[in-house]
Structure 1
Amino acid sequence: MSATRLLVLGVVRGYGRAHGYLIGNDLMGWGAGEWANVKWGSIYHALKQLTKDGCLVDETAPPGRTDYVITPKGEAEYRRLLRDALRRPETRPDLLAAGLALLPSLTRAEAVGLLTERLAALESRRDVARRQAGEWREPVHVKELYGLWEHTAASGAEWTRGLVERLAAGEYPMAGEPGSPGAPGSWGMLKLE
């Protein structure tokens, strides 16, 4: 899964209609170059590929600018990518980061459910790594690898549990709630000079 693909779909969806510079400006402003390795070239590549795949349609807007609009297929792809980013603990943090950036696209109940799946997977990974570390014999230093995996899964589980609790307590406006930026086309247009 590509964090750039998810983020580009999310920004286009958020605005309802967006051009490449607006998308890139937002993502770079969010620091996505650092936490998701998003580059200007990868944004334009994603726009072309998403258009080719039927997830976006491109429309020429004066003065010679190309705007993008998400299609029903693109909405389905966006939701699939977002759900996977939240429910599946990956070793790459960029996917979770992209999912968190777009979290308000989901209802509170759906977000809690997906994150609860993530929590169960992390707890299972933690337990497996703990068992593997306890059973490992030779070479002895490899035991540290299992300890790292146990620690990583345990800290991920602790953080995920906290986010589930915060969401369940009503933190952050989610889709369908007042003040949520989660509905398609709900983002205010930025004035770019």
Structure 2
Amino acid sequence: MSATRLLVLGVVRMHGRAHGYLVRSELLSWGADEWAHIKFGSIYHALRQLAKDGLLKSTDIPDWPGRVDYEIAPPGEEEFFRLLRDALRQGNNRPDMLGAALVLLPALSREEAIALLRERIASLSAEQGELIAKVDETAGERPQRAHIRELLGLWEHSAASQAAWTEALIERLEAGAYVMAGEEKGA
């Protein structure tokens, strides 16, 4: 799964019609170049590839040589929501995917976002249990490998921390934080 793919689809969808520079500017304003490690060339490559795959419609602008505008196609809308939902529901996934899902969170209804985040907590809890079992398993292993428990402990701690953070996000959403899909601003 690609954070770049999700982010580019999300920005084009958000704007309705967008060209590469607009997508790039939006992603830069979110700091995605830092947390998602998106390079300028990868944005343009993603736009062309998404159009080639039929997920975006491309239009050459005759009055502006070299400019191509993009709109999301129905299959692109489906792919966007599939990627967004997967990134939210999966437990201890890559930080770039979670970051992409969070900046695009308002594309979902409040109810769906909360349900997906609850799936995330279940995934993190299962992962945490598996890691605790592995730490216990390695406890009796050879002393020269005992330090491996530290890595497993770090992962277990990370899963627990992410679950607590996700629960707090759910509480904020349940309390009405953020304007979500289907809601009016200021309502």
**Once structures 1 and 2 are overlaid, which stretch shifts more, 59-68 or 96-105?**
59-68
Counterpart amino acid of residue 70 in structure 2: Y
Q: What do residues 121-156 of structure 1 show as CA deviations (whole Å, max 9, x unaligned)? A: 101111221122123222222111221111010001
* Aligned position for 2:130: 128
**Once structures 1 and 2 are overlaid, which stretch shifts more, 61-70 or 45-54?**
61-70
Deviation of 1:168 after TM superposition, in Å, equals: 1.2
Paired positions, count: 180
Contact map agreement 2:6 2:100 (CA 8 A) in 1:
yes
* Aligned position for 1:25: 25
Q: What TM-score, normalized to structure 2?
A: 0.93
Contact map agreement 2:87 2:93 (CA 8 A) in 1:
no
Given candidates 84, 89, 94, the residue that maps to 2:86 is: 84
Question: Which structure carries more relative contact order (alpha carbon 8 Å, separation 6+)?
Answer: 1
Give the match's secondary structure for 1:67: strand
Q: What do residues 109-129 of structure 1 show as CA deviations (whole Å, max 9, x unaligned)? A: 000010000001101111221
Give the root-mean-square deviation of aligned CA atoms.
1.2
Q: Which whole-Å CA distance do the structure 2 matches of 1:90 and 1:36 have between them?
A: 16
Q: What TM-score, normalized to structure 1?
A: 0.90
**Which runs of no fewer than 5 residues in structure 1 stay unpaired?**
181-193
* Aligned position for 2:157: 151
Identity of aligned residues (%): 57
Contact map agreement 2:6 2:80 (CA 8 A) in 1:
yes
Given candidates 134, 154, 164, the residue that maps to 2:170 is: 164
Q: Which whole-Å CA distance do the structure 1 matches of 2:60 and 2:147 have between them?
A: 60
**Which runs of no fewer than 5 residues in structure 2 stay unpaired?**
none
Deviation of 1:90 after TM superposition, in Å, equals: 4.1
* Aligned position for 1:9: 9
Contact map agreement 2:121 2:163 (CA 8 A) in 1:
yes
